[in-house]
Amino acid sequence: MWKNLRILLLLVLLAAVAIHTWLDRIATQSWQQTLWVGIFPLNGDGTPQAQRYVEGLTVQDFAAIEEFFAREVRRYGLELQQPVHVELYPPGAQLPPVLEHGAGIFAVAWWSLKLRWYAAHADRFPGRAAPRIRLFVLYHDPATLARAPDSHGLQKGLVGVVHVFADRAMTWRNNIVIVHELLHTVGASDKYDLGSGAPLFPSGFADRDRQPLYPQDAAEIMAGRRPLSGVESQMPRSLSGVVVGPETAREIRWTH
């Protein structure tokens, strides 16, 4: 009797989690209402430079993200005026759990559980509504590391951990990284070669029908780089040189 009850409770719990994930998916892929995205800035390396930078952020620094979504959604013929609204929250004190580079499947699953737990507690600020999607953005002093750690955006839990540079000159490029991870949370997949980093053809190309094919005028957001030739590609400087390609548009349900 008790054993059956325990199994029943477990099944109810699992069903509740599955339904919650399914509802999240419907809410973030319907594109009927403005999607609220929260940016939670953090000092990623404990340096005074990153601290100053994080404290000096304003919501204006992320305006290009809203503009990017408005422009791209219009290109795909959707009626929505403002697909994404970005809210900036005060800098947090505690950093999210770290995923070790090259972690195995169980380590990743455990990390994502810890991250969801962290996110559920780190997004509470008195008088502020919790956003639908939570992006924890860790700022690093460029002098302390040459390359930012890997960023992650998770559709399950609608949460992202984004590593960027605490440098005014990098604001525009940081926004590209933020949009890339944000799109992962609403179902977009990577479109670059995981070994070389080169954009995949055709899904990672902004204009696959271009004659000649190279150089491409823009970068596809989930590829991240603009192909210049069969072997070269370049990081775009800002979101004005980036588009949402047809595969990404289908994955996030802008098209069917």
Would you count residue 154 as binding Zn ion (CB under 5 A)? no
Cα separation, 73 vs 89, whole angstroms: 26
Would you count residue 167 as binding Zn ion (CB under 5 A)? no
Residue with Cβ nearer Zn ion (54 or 115): 115
Residue with Cβ nearer Zn ion (66 or 190): 190
Would you count residue 200 as binding Zn ion (CB under 5 A)? no
Peptide bond before residue 215 is cis, with ω within 30 degrees of 0: yes
Residue with Cβ nearer Zn ion (54 or 161): 161
Residues pairing with 160 in the sheet: 135, 153
Residue with Cβ nearer Zn ion (87 or 190): 190
Peptide bond before residue 48 is cis, with ω within 30 degrees of 0: no
> Cβ distance 183 to 252 under 8 Å?
yes
| Count of beta carbons in the 10 Å neighbourhood of residue 234 | 13
Q: Choose one: 127-135, 164-172, 183-191, 231-239; the region binding Zn ion (CB under 5 A).
A: 183-191
Would you count residue 187 as binding Zn ion (CB under 5 A)? no
Would you count residue 190 as binding Zn ion (CB under 5 A)? yes
Residue with Cβ nearer Zn ion (42 or 222): 222
Place of tokens 């605490």: 166
First to last CA, the chain: 48
Q: Choose one: 33-41, 67-75, 80-88, 187-195; the region binding Zn ion (CB under 5 A).
A: 187-195
Q: Which residues bind Zn ion (CB under 5 A)?
A: 190
